[in-house]
Amino acid sequence: MPSRHSSSSHSSHSSSHHSSSHHSSHSSSHHSHSSHSSSYSHSGSSYHSAPVYKTRTNQPTGYRGKNPRIYRCKHHDYVHFDIPWTDEATGREYRAGYYDEDGNFYEDIVFSKHGKILDNTTAVCRCDYCRMEDSRAWADREKPCTHCGGTMTVISQMDDLEDEGGVWNPSKNKVETSESRRLKKILLIALIVILSPCILTAFLEGLTEKLYPEDESSYESSEYYDSGVTYNIPDLGDTMYLVGEEGTYSLTDQSDYQENNDAGGYKKLVLDSDGNYYDKSTEGYVWLNEYIDPPQFQYWFEGISSEYGDFGWMEYDVDESRWYIEVEEEKWEPLDDAVYEKNMNRLWHIEYDFTD
């Protein structure tokens, strides 16, 4: 496996989040929120009361991912699930997205705060004429359809955020609040104090082994680590324009896209708040990972990457003409041939020379 397939250093959209509306994400919602809790003043002091959530019924079951977060809003309370899944007990399939207290599903939600929608919010819009959907920045919601020029309408659910609450535990049907997490931290600190003599001993032993290793050859570094090379990083902006064919694309600009995209072979991807560019036609996300050496374009595809929980980011190796996928932390493997054959028509990658 080529050593350039190194950890993405990016929040996984399953962690990240991802759903077909995007996100990501990539968290975990693709919208920006500010934490808010109810409070009242008494005798010059401020006391925070625990938020009261609506009773939840008819909820999704069998979720195996990270505990999702709950958002308490004016009209509904929403729990956001990062990845799609199948309940092994019932065989029922669930989509990634938001579920309210009655179990109703929403692909995407636009949160407002005290009636004001944040400028960096993204929303799913649909063309009134050709019915094409795309995810775009809130400020661009009224711009014409990029496909036919028709009028776009926001189809995301909209609600006023009152509290970006704690972590939701689907198995216990309750919220893990900041108070419960504080108590867990206290217990953890107490446990560390009790075990500190053992921890100190293990630390000293490890330090000794590091300073005086028995086998110097075991300390290998990546051929790309700290190379000192200055790379040419493209300025992608809020929208990425691509042109290509047969799954291989290169970067282009807005004028080229506007003049020639009717002929086909072009992609227009809008940046979301997680730092990813979304391609609705293939349910794929791409981001430019500048934190590895050399930089890489990395990809996340619904139905492929989503099978790996907190991981699943992919890279395309041009030299080998094959895909790699991160199956565990810093562990990359060639994409299974059967998975590739099944999805080859929607897999795409960007070729770019960072050393120019």
Spatial contact of 84 and 96, defined as CB atoms under 8 Å apart = yes
pLDDT in tens, 142-160: 999 988 999 999 999 999 9
Please give the full DSSP string across 318-335, using - where no structure is assigned: TTTTEEEEEEETTEEEEP
Spatial contact of 174 and 157, defined as CB atoms under 8 Å apart = no
Report field, pTM of the whole predicted structure over 0.85 = no
Count of other CB atoms within 10 angstroms of residue 32: 14
Spatial contact of 330 and 8, defined as CB atoms under 8 Å apart = no
Alpha-carbon torsion, ordered 259, 260, 263, 265, to 10 deg: -140
Backbone phi, psi, residue 238, to 5°: -85, -15
pLDDT in tens, 213-232: 554 433 333 333 445 678 88
Radius of gyration of the chain (CA): 23
pLDDT, average across residues 152-173 = 82
- Residue (of 310, 315, 306) closest to 347 by Cα position: 315
Residues 130-143 as b/e (b if ≥16 CB within 10 A, e otherwise) read: eebbbbbbbeebee
pLDDT in tens, 23-72: 333 333 333 333 333 333 333 333 334 568 888 999 999 998 887 888 98
Per-residue CA distances from 79 to 19, 163, 172, 173, 215 (Å): 13, 12, 14, 11, 51
When comparing pLDDT for 314 and 182, which is higher? 314
pLDDT of residue 17: 36
**Comparing 15-19, 77-81, 166-170, 285-289, which segment has the lowest mean pLDDT?**
15-19
Spatial contact of 286 and 240, defined as CB atoms under 8 Å apart = yes
Identity of the amino acid at 260: N
Q: Positive or negative, the Cα torsion across 68, 73, 77, 80?
A: negative
Q: Where are the domains of the chain?
A: 239-350
| Cα 327 from chain centroid (whole Å) | 16
Helices and strands, counts by H and E, the chain: 3, 25
Strand partners, 137: 122
pLDDT in tens, 83-122: 899 999 999 999 999 999 999 999 999 999 888 887 678 8
Please give the full DSSP string across 54-94, using - where no structure is assigned: PPP-S------SSPPEEEEESS-EEEEESS-EE-TTT--EE
